[in-house]
Structure 1
């Protein structure tokens, strides 16, 4: 990457002006309150969307100090954006929250502030910059973690509670089985990395790219393998460019807008070299970050960016199915379930019956931002014999929210408890969810409770019923 390719520095003074202007769009009607998970728990106006907007506006206009109380109420926000979906005035709350966290993360000399406490430890900053932002290093951890799991070390750590309730302990508790990447459509790789190209099987219907993400390439390899399997069998060539990196959501929501912009640029360079009909994301959280960064100018100019994203998603699916090139400026990012819901080739594959109840969890990013909550249902309904139902309480966040479960464990635990209670009385065998963070968060609680419910991505269930695993 050349120095001229890097994004310009973000002006925090300009950011304050932008926050103030967007905050003024809020008319404090209160229609967002029932949709806010933290307000529902605390019943505090400062933990509601309109309360947070008032605080942001006050800080941006220097009417109130940027102090620890301000940081507390910003940190408690899950950025689920349920308020944004419910807002009649289309206030872009996600953009406001990212701006507020950028102000908190800035050096005191850039924007006056009172003591707000240590925002991030040096170790966490190192992890985000040297590990999360460089996913090839995450891939290098795969052999170590597989050894950790296969040699019984993980079982001993969990049995004796050696990590306690530390952040490392909370993180380890969510660690799922670490699978190997897909080498060929019918077998896993011994090399521990994805191939750059997976040829289609049967009648060719187009070429797509697969976004791996950062943590997901390590903890959700089964889903990525399943995506390749299904897409190949439907007739799609799957490209996995090795230069792709983290989507940048973790950095964006942590206030590091420059790092997020650099990662967006790197991903754009990695995928733009290929003539793809679509870039498919199996994690809705990554999909949101990628899709919104694909419209930088349009999102900044439009008071209502949602129709732009909806139109883009529809055109990407249709164009990729018809083999037409997508316009250079149009976002190519599509959620996996959205792509499968519109894909052709289903008549050429056979799905074996699965006579179980499958509950569908709707991640906030899929439901509130991508507005694609209906797609997993339509995809799963292709499985003969399966009973597909929504998980009760889908309008409320599960509490994972990126690193929220680490930073706000008490609030995250309350939100998670509601999901587990609904699952315990459901009689379901599977919970299908479209976001890796939600899957790990919910699965860890089910595992601790000794539940037999398996948490999987919709694409994984489809791939299994199409024969993935039977030929391994």
Structure 2
């Protein structure tokens, strides 16, 4: 791949200008998970920025080594949080991955990348991006788990050491969406509206996500339960879809923009006047708040969206997005809520997206402090990524396992009964490892633990 072969829809000038804002001070190095493991400058934010700038300015080729160092990045954005010059590293790495994706055929010929399996491409484009198909999987997965088939498959080792086996090991019990204001019934999908209980305080929307609507149902149900009891009517637009983070971080900017369009329309439909759009997964929350940024003005997709006033719509949508813990920390209606005591230790894991981008880690502690008798403490090493990072644990398994081991070691030493985390990917990644070690620590979302103590049946 020659530098002159950069795709025409990629703004080289924009990338170089942003990369030039890096003053190479090195303050980011100790905060970068990959640099701490490899001690290679090329696996640090400073080094990667130099590589990106080199490729964009035709000084170095886009080859296998370049792709490897970009792929090793977790996009945890810890570097952004400490950068004195506020370099938009997330924007840089996403743009670079779009560049790599656009150049994929040539890179494939040169052996610089490996071809994605047809199953992986099908899952990303035809399942995760199609909410109706995800809901259709629910009864199949529940059958798989409840009939003992899951235990038999795991015991047989039929899946071997494939990526599918890694995914299957992370699969938690698949729950059912709540009905009747969060109690007393179940259905295969969520109601469009869950009316408030008691004194009405406002109307909010709930973003379901893609994977979470199968693997994190209890958290979504808990969010509805708590919000309803505080007096908020919860709207769950049926046409919402995947947030698009997986696609954007994978270099498929066009798909990310299309998903952003669909979600914007879903939550700003007729009759909806929402005070906030609530996200229970910090990874999704970041993507939703950055919808205006994913519509890069240099791309043809943006020109189409601009004609539909998408920039303004995306801005209005993103301004309403709030993490569930941040919203509940400021919400009214707590005077009449009396959670049951919980005399156990809870350690709090702070997902990278919540800590480094949303800057909302403190809200989880505020929420859990409402549980009488609970001892709440941060998990040691919260400044480092757990290794999940979307599909990173599949694509960079060795690096991901090393980061995960650090979390399990910290948990083993914590003496905790619960681990509270605000991102579904982190929860599944850590919980899977805990199950393998036989640990009895339960991994759950802060709002789930609070909902249980408020009387919601698990």
| Structure 1 residues without counterparts, runs of 5 or longer | 1-9, 302-326
Tell me the CA shift for residue 445 of structure 1.
Answer: 0.3
Q: Alignment partner of 1:396: what SS?
A: coil
Partner of residue 352 from structure 2, selected from 345, 364, 367: 364
Q: Alignment partner of 1:432: what SS?
A: strand
Seen in structure 2, the aligned counterparts of structure 1 residues 184 and 329 have a Cα distance that, compared at 3 Å, is: closer
CA distance in 1: counterparts of 2:111 and 2:157, whole angstroms: 35
Seen in structure 2, the aligned counterparts of structure 1 residues 413 and 328 have a Cα distance that, compared at 3 Å, is: closer
Tell me the CA shift for residue 40 of structure 1.
Answer: 0.1
Partner of residue 244 from structure 2, selected from 223, 245, 248: 248
CA distance in 2: counterparts of 1:345 and 1:251, whole angstroms: 38
Tell me the CA shift for residue 161 of structure 1.
Answer: 2.5
**Contact 2:230 / 2:333 at 8 angstroms: preserved in 1?**
yes
Residue in structure 1 matched with residue 43 of structure 2 by the alignment: 47
Q: Alignment partner of 2:124: what SS?
A: helix
Tell me the CA shift for residue 15 of structure 1.
Answer: 2.3
Seen in structure 2, the aligned counterparts of structure 1 residues 123 and 400 have a Cα distance that, compared at 3 Å, is: same
Mean CA deviation greater in 20-29 or 280-289: 20-29
Seen in structure 2, the aligned counterparts of structure 1 residues 113 and 328 have a Cα distance that, compared at 3 Å, is: same
CA distance in 1: counterparts of 2:105 and 2:57, whole angstroms: 17
Matched, 1:279 2:249: no
Cα deviation digits, residues 178-233 of structure 1 (max 9, x gap): 00011123436543110000000010000000000001000000000000000000
Aligned residue runs from structure 1 range 340-419, under 5 A: 340-419=328-407
**Contact 1:13 / 1:111 at 8 angstroms: preserved in 2?**
no
Partner of residue 421 from structure 2, selected from 424, 427, 433: 433
Matched, 1:468 2:456: yes
Residue in structure 2 matched with residue 7 of structure 1 by the alignment: none
CA distance in 2: counterparts of 1:184 and 1:402, whole angstroms: 33
**Contact 1:241 / 1:271 at 8 angstroms: preserved in 2?**
yes
CA distance in 2: counterparts of 1:84 and 1:412, whole angstroms: 21
**Contact 1:67 / 1:113 at 8 angstroms: preserved in 2?**
no
Cα deviation digits, residues 101-122 of structure 1 (max 9, x gap): 1111114689999542235233
CA distance in 2: counterparts of 1:189 and 1:26, whole angstroms: 54
Residue in structure 1 matched with residue 201 of structure 2 by the alignment: 205
CA distance in 2: counterparts of 1:328 and 1:186, whole angstroms: 29
Residue in structure 1 matched with residue 135 of structure 2 by the alignment: 139
**Contact 1:295 / 1:331 at 8 angstroms: preserved in 2?**
no
Matched, 1:259 2:255: yes
CA distance in 2: counterparts of 1:94 and 1:229, whole angstroms: 34
**Contact 1:12 / 1:111 at 8 angstroms: preserved in 2?**
no
**Contact 2:108 / 2:115 at 8 angstroms: preserved in 1?**
no
Partner of residue 93 from structure 2, selected from 87, 93, 97: 97
Q: Alignment partner of 2:398: what SS?
A: helix
Matched, 1:123 2:119: yes
CA distance in 1: counterparts of 2:331 and 2:160, whole angstroms: 46
Tell me the CA shift for residue 424 of structure 1.
Answer: 0.6
Partner of residue 172 from structure 2, selected from 149, 173, 176: 176
Residue in structure 2 matched with residue 148 of structure 1 by the alignment: 144
Matched, 1:446 2:438: no
Q: Alignment partner of 1:38: what SS?
A: helix
CA distance in 2: counterparts of 1:147 and 1:296, whole angstroms: 38
Aligned residue runs from structure 1 range 74-89, under 5 A: 74-89=70-85
Tell me the CA shift for residue 61 of structure 1.
Answer: 1.1
RMSD: 2.1
CA distance in 1: counterparts of 2:277 and 2:254, whole angstroms: 23
Q: Alignment partner of 2:347: what SS?
A: strand
Tell me the CA shift for residue 350 of structure 1.
Answer: 1.3
Residue in structure 2 matched with residue 421 of structure 1 by the alignment: 409
Seen in structure 2, the aligned counterparts of structure 1 residues 296 and 157 have a Cα distance that, compared at 3 Å, is: closer
Q: Alignment partner of 2:70: what SS?
A: helix
Matched, 1:228 2:228: no
CA distance in 1: counterparts of 2:54 and 2:172, whole angstroms: 43
Tell me the CA shift for residue 349 of structure 1.
Answer: 1.4
| Structure 2 residues without counterparts, runs of 5 or longer | 1-5, 299-314
Cα deviation digits, residues 119-155 of structure 1 (max 9, x gap): 5233222211111111210111010110111011111
Alignment TM-score, normalising by the size of structure 2: 0.91
CA distance in 1: counterparts of 2:189 and 2:413, whole angstroms: 40
Seen in structure 2, the aligned counterparts of structure 1 residues 434 and 12 have a Cα distance that, compared at 3 Å, is: farther
Tell me the CA shift for residue 19 of structure 1.
Answer: 1.2
CA distance in 2: counterparts of 1:109 and 1:392, whole angstroms: 43
Mean CA deviation greater in 362-371 or 97-106: 97-106
